[in-house]
Amino acid sequence: MSESCHDDQPRSDGLECLFCSLVKSVRSATEKHSAFYGHMYNARIEVLQAFRSLIDQRISSLEKRKSSAEGKKATKIELE
């Protein structure tokens, strides 16, 4: 097994590394009009939207905390 599966030459025993086979499939499917490319593009959008929802939730939480803190001001009480 001195032959590398990372070159473009097939191995002499006819077997191919599973990972190398997957990489070759991905490379051939990255044409902009393939279904694979469309799914990957949509997946990137979904991941970004997921992070945006987390950020929006955190912003809302901080804004609520700020508004509730502003309503709670200490009042000075004079003692006799």
Q: Would you state the pLDDT for residue 73?
A: 73
Q: Would you state the pLDDT for residue 16?
A: 80
- Over residues 13-21, mean pLDDT: 79
Is the pLDDT assigned to residue 11 strictly greater than 80?
A: no
- Token pair, residue 60, equals 């809302």
The model's confidence at residue 1, banded by pLDDT at 50, 70 and 90, is very low
Summarised one tens digit per residue, pLDDT across range 21-76 is: 888 887 777 676 778 888 888 999 999 999 999 999 999 999 998 887 776 777 78
Q: Would you state the pLDDT for residue 2?
A: 40
Say how far apart CA 54 and CA 52 lie, in whole Å.
5
Measure the CA angle with vertex 16, ends 11 and 19; round to 5°. Answer: 135
What does the domain layout of the chain look like in residue ranges?
32-67
**Half-sphere exposure of residue 36: CA atoms within 13 angstroms, side-chain side:** 8
